[in-house]
Amino acid sequence: MIHTQTSSRAGRDGTVVRLYGTVQDITERKNAEEKMHYLAMYDALTGLPNRQFFQEQLEHAVLRAQRSGSHFGVMFIDLDRFKRINDTLGHATGDMLLREVSMRLGGCVRGGDVVARESSDPGYQAAREIQAGRVARLAGDEFTVTLDTLKSPQDAARVAQRILAEMSRPFMLNGNEVVVTASVGIAIFPQDGEQASVLLKNADAAMYQAKELGKNTYHFFAGDMNSAAVEKLKMESELRHALERNELLLHYQPKVDARSGRITGVEALMRWQHPERGLVPPGVFIPVAEETGLIVAMGEWVLEEACRQKKIWRDAGLPGIDMAINLASPSFRKTDLVERVADTLTRYGVPPTELCLEATESILMRDADVAMVTLNRLRDLGVKLSIDDFGTGYSSLSYLRRFPINQLKIDRSFVNEVTSCPDDAAIIAAIVSLARTLKLEVVAEGVETADQMRRLIEQGCRIMQGFYFSKPLTSEDLTRLLTRGTDFRAKLFRAPFAAAELAQVA
């Protein structure tokens, strides 16, 4: 690029007699300026407009819509569990995923060729009708889409459906097939905010609502949503007091040998007895506890309480069954975990072999080499190790072989479908044979029916946990069960096949 600057000098008669000036090559300067501008406005990873540029665009959209009296929508899109992908597959793969996601988002709101391919699809049709749907990346796994000139909120809903469908198609990243979902929040000008900043904030709040609804869905902003945020803050502060006020308790769910009906162990499951809310399940308060870091202290309480209970049963002369507790990621990562476990076991006189620690695949696979050290130290202590919700995370088979684990717990989503879905039955069969090869025990979680039990036995699985045998019980109820020496043979007899099964066992 060339920049010229000239002056002229006139002669006595007024005609130009001389021109002088400079001719400069400013390509580099211009490039640098353009580059600066680009860096300031665009996201380096995806090439999409960044937060700053998006905010400017949004402000313009507000002005335009005010002038023309039209409506437009802002979508806030956040990937579900992106952190887990980053943690398990590494940041380079995470980056690759974000680039792919940005391209698919672009495809969802771009007109023309993309639309033509599947024009019967209502999402694509909506996308065609909406001109200049624009995608931006705000941060991390947060994206926005601005939908100009909406005719109705349904247009936005259809685009959101399209986005969810596009996201849920598997991504191939470095040879890994990765499945992600997204949560989408939608705010519409002017009813959900007349200022750019308010619209964005409300789209964000709507996205959180979509997450609360179970993720992989979209949600429109509604004014009363603000109360949900307030509610969460309240729970946070109450949870801080829950420990001091002794509001936490444990329920115990039996793990049953479905061939003999004997209880082989129990899993301790945390509950929160709230003065007004009643008994709060862990699905509600554990995420809040994890966000605030309170989970570490709560996990220490669980270990203490479970061992105290073991001692009570032992002192009462009841059989020494396995006690399983769940480990959250921050607890697993605490450097004094092994010492704390050892100390607690000693204080209550609990044999290490009767304690089982459950952790999910994602907890173990993140920083797998560090996890290996902790697991080995726990094994040396003599405690059992179990992988919880197995089959839902990303396990590396080579780690699985090297980790000193004792047990795989088949996630209940597979068990749920074992009688109706051949794929799930096949997955269970594969997990069982994997466990056999690696000499691990298998436990099926969430067994609810006799039919499921029968199919699981056919697949070679014999230890089961689920409502079919027993819901999680209070310590008193479980003590009663153990005192009576009850087993679950009656459950087995009620199943049509069980008599033959039992004859075989006996």
Residue placing its CB nearer to ligand C2E in the complex, 246 or 437 = 246
Binding residue for ligand C2E, selected from 87, 141, 155, 388, defined by CB under 6 A: 388
Considering beta carbons, is residue 162 or 366 the nearer one to ligand C2E? 366
- Own/partner contacts of 482-487, CB < 8 Å, gap of 24 or more, are 482/263, 482/313, 482/318, 482/319, 482/321, 483/316, 483/318, 487/256, 487/260, 487/261, 487/262, 487/263
Residues 6+ apart with CB under 8 A from 109: 127, 130, 133, 134, 135, 145, 147, 159
Find tokens 């099964």 and name the residue.
Answer: 501
Note whether 193 binds ligand C2E by CB under 6 A. no
Q: Where are the alpha helices (DSSP H) in 69-90?
A: 82-89
Local structure of residue 35 (DSSP, 8 states): H
Interacting stretch for ligand C2E, rule CB under 6 A, among 16-24, 280-288, 370-378, 423-431? 280-288
CB of 296 to Mg ion, least distance (A): 18
- CB neighbours of residue 120 within 10 Å: 6
Identify what 382 binds: ligand C2E, Mg ion, none; CB under 5 to 8 Å per kind. none
Choosing from 96, 178, 256, 269, the residue that interacts with ligand C2E (CB under 6 A) is 269
Site for ligand C2E (CB under 6 A): which residue of 49, 94, 123, 472? 472
Measured from the CB atom, the residue of 107 and 299 that comes closer to ligand C2E is 299
Site residues for ligand C2E, 47-86, by CB under 6 A, read none
Residue of 491, 414, 420, 494 whose CA lies nearest to 446 = 414
Indicate the angle between helix axes 282-292 and 295-315, nearest 10 degrees. Answer: 130
The angle formed by the CA atoms of residues 186, 192 and 198, to the nearest 5 degrees, is 90
- Supply the DSSP symbol for 487: -
Cα 281 from Cα 343, distance rounded (Å): 29
Residue 299 binding target from Mg ion, ligand C2E, none, CB below 5 to 8 Å by type: ligand C2E
**Min separation Cβ 336 and ligand C2E, Å:** 17
String marking each residue 309-338 x if it binds ligand C2E according to CB under 6 A: -----------------x-x----------
DSSP 49: B
- What number of chain residues touch Mg ion (CB under 5 A)? 5
Residues 106-165 that bind Mg ion (CB under 5 A): none
Say if residues 403 and 364 touch (Cβ distance below 8 Å): yes
**Binder of ligand C2E out of 466, 478, 492, 498 (CB under 6 A):** 466
Consecutive H or E run containing 9: strand 2-10
DSSP state of 170: P
**Residue 186 beta carbon to Mg ion: minimum distance, rounded to whole angstroms:** 33
How near is the Cβ of 331 to ligand C2E at its closest, in Å?
7
Residue 446 within binding range of ligand C2E, rule CB under 6 A: yes
Determine the Cα–Cα distance for residues 127 and 125; give it in Å rounded to an integer.
5
Closest distance to Mg ion from the beta carbon of 267 (Å): 6
Site for Mg ion in 316-345 (CB under 5 A): 326
The stretch near ligand C2E (CB under 6 A) out of 29-37, 208-216, 239-247, 463-471 is 463-471
Residue 358 binds to Mg ion (criterion: CB under 5 A): yes
Q: Which of 448, 451, 477, 487 binds ligand C2E (CB under 6 A)?
A: 448
Tell me the closest approach of the beta carbon of residue 469 to ligand C2E, in angstroms: 8
Give Cβ neighbours of residue 47 (< 8 Å, ≥ 6 apart): 102
User: 354: which DSSP letter?
Assistant: G
By the criterion CB under 6 A, which residues form the site for ligand C2E?
Answer: 253, 269-270, 281-283, 286, 299, 302, 326, 328, 358, 388-389, 412, 445-448, 465-467, 472
By the criterion CB under 5 A, which residues form the site for Mg ion?
Answer: 326, 358, 388-389, 445
